[in-house]
Amino acid sequence: MPVFFVCAGLIGLLAVILTVNIARLRGKKKISLGDGGDPEMLAAIRAHANLIEFAPLCLLLIYIVSDFYGFGLVAALSVVLLVSRALHAGGMIGVIPGGRFLGATGTTLVLAATSVMVVIAGIGLKQY
């Protein structure tokens, strides 16, 4: 479980980095609201928004499956999510060629796998 917490914390720090990047671009480009029609600003906003859209749900599902599946699997899912989110963000802001596709694919695989795992675990639970 420590790997999960480290990865969750690092994903939180990635959100901070992406937030600071947006603020930096807003100052540099003098855009106070929205993207101002600027493609670089739009990419920065979407990189942050996409992280915020997917990371919390994936982290929640990984946390839920940690009660039913082994440490190794939970650690692997956590690391794949962290690497995927970093690749996606880097690809969106243009510093990792191909990162957007790889990151989106990895995130989707984690989301799908953990969702199925939660369903399977839920079917096996007894209600009293």
pTM of the entire predicted model: 0.93
Query: pLDDT tens across 84-115, in order?
Result: 999 999 999 999 999 999 999 999 999 999 99
Residue type, 66: S
pLDDT at 128 over 80: no
d(CA 93, CA 40): 7
Residue 125: is it exposed, middle or buried by C-beta count within 10 angstroms (0-12/13-18/19+)? exposed
CA angle 105, 84, 36 (to 5 degrees): 90
> Tell me, what's the pLDDT at 104?
98
What integer best gives the mean pLDDT of the chain?
A: 95
51 to 10, 28, 126: CA distances (angstroms): 12, 23, 35
Tens of pLDDT, residues 58-72: 999 999 999 999 899
| Band (126; pLDDT cuts 50, 70, 90) | confident
Q: pLDDT per residue over 107-121, tens digit each?
A: 999 999 999 999 999
1: confidence class by pLDDT, cuts 50, 70, 90? low
Buried b (16+ CB within 10 A) or exposed e, 65-77: bbeebeeebbbeb
- The per-residue pLDDT for 125 is 83
Domain positions in the chain? 2-120
The second-level CATH assignment, the architecture, of 2-120 is Up-down Bundle (1.20)
Burial class (CB in 10 A: 0-12, 13-18, 19+), 83: middle
